[in-house]
Structure 1
Amino acid sequence: MTTEARSNTTQDLHELVFSRAFAAPPATVFRAWTDPDQLVRWWGPRDFVLTIQAMEVKVGGIWEYVLHGPDGTDYPNRAIFEVVEPPRRLEFFNSGGHVSDRHLTCRMIVTFEDRKTQTLVTLRMQFETEAALERARSRGAEQGGRQSFERLVEWLA
């Protein structure tokens, strides 16, 4: 199954949505999203490397990380967890992206839906404005999201 990616834009909502079924139970997939040792194996576009400086998965907890691009560019990020409901839901506000353009500043909502032999994961990246959404798209957010989900499939296998 491929990762479905779509954009929603309404007067109040500007988001990228990624959805994919994974052949693992929700607890396993949730752990892959919240365990730093697993996240470094799959988070980010293909050929990017993830470094995690801090990660405390609890309401109010901080996740500080840097995505290192294959060209040597660093993309620092800082997220604050707003909702942590294992193994069903994560919400965090992410501030980051390129140092000169914080194009990945958005609320991320991740749901983990039990589908008996699979877990349907839906990631919603909600941006404050349509311009912010378009800036993220122009910097490759859709491709990066798809590749992250592909890497997660490979990691869970």
Structure 2
Amino acid sequence: MVENNSTTNATENEEFVITRVLDAPRELVFKVWTEAEHMQHWWGPKGLSIIVAKLDVRPGGIFHYIMRDPDGNEMWGRFTYREIAAPERIVFVNSFSDAEGNITRPPFDEPWPMEILNTVTFSELDGKTTLTLRSIPVNATKEEVLVFQSGFESMEQGYGGTFDKLAEYLAKV
């Protein structure tokens, strides 16, 4: 069960922040962020299924996945992990990719950044976990940063749906 109290806060710079309180202990929340058999059930926007091609959770490791919509259209994505501090923090760079795992341009018309640095923190109080995700473009042009900033509302909806799926999944495991 989730307390539906997501909050989002855009700082004056290009950072995107979203927080969700989950009705599950931190060790379990961390576990479902780091194991393929769990990630495939909840990662990604609502309405898309995920197939895990590779998951190697360690600094320098890769999470490579396919997002598939109900019509069978596919988009590849990947994380490159920078830091794993169980069960407190995961730091990774997220990108769109091709089937081989090479970084590719996003499938949008706007100049979206090719790499987004994400820091996910997990803190526990009274058996509930507060998950906070902070995202910021890396190696981005000024135009890409501005497009990123203009996408905060869309990102709030996308991550909100993903975290809804996470909360539903946590209630079952």
Map 1:2-151 → 2, pairs under 5 A = 2=4, 3-10=6-13, 14-96=14-96, 99-101=106-108, 103=112, 105-128=115-138, 129-134=145-150, 136-137=151-152, 140-151=154-165
* Cα distance in 2, alignment partners of residues 20 and 99 from structure 1: 26
Check whether the contact 2:10–2:152 (CA below 8 A) recurs between aligned residues: no
Unaligned runs of 5+ in 2: 98-104, 139-144
- What's the secondary structure of 1:57's corresponding residue? coil
Q: Compared with structure 1, are the counterparts of its residues 146 and 78 closer, same or farther at alpha carbon in structure 2 (3 Å cutoff)?
A: same
- What's the secondary structure of 1:24's corresponding residue? coil
Check whether the contact 2:57–2:84 (CA below 8 A) recurs between aligned residues: yes
Matched-pair identity in %: 28
The TM-score, its normalising length taken from structure 1, stands at 0.86
* Cα distance in 2, alignment partners of residues 40 and 103 from structure 1: 25
The TM-score, its normalising length taken from structure 2, stands at 0.79
Q: CA deviation at 1:5?
A: 2.2
- Structure 2 counterpart of 1:154, one-letter code: E
* Cα distance in 1, alignment partners of residues 75 and 18 from structure 2: 21
Q: CA deviation at 1:130?
A: 2.5
- Structure 2 counterpart of 1:64, one-letter code: H
Q: CA deviation at 1:137?
A: 4.2
What is the aligned-residue RMSD (CA, Å)? 2.1
* Cα distance in 1, alignment partners of residues 130 and 65 from structure 2: 25
Aligned residues: 152
Unaligned runs of 5+ in 1: none
Q: CA deviation at 1:131?
A: 2.1
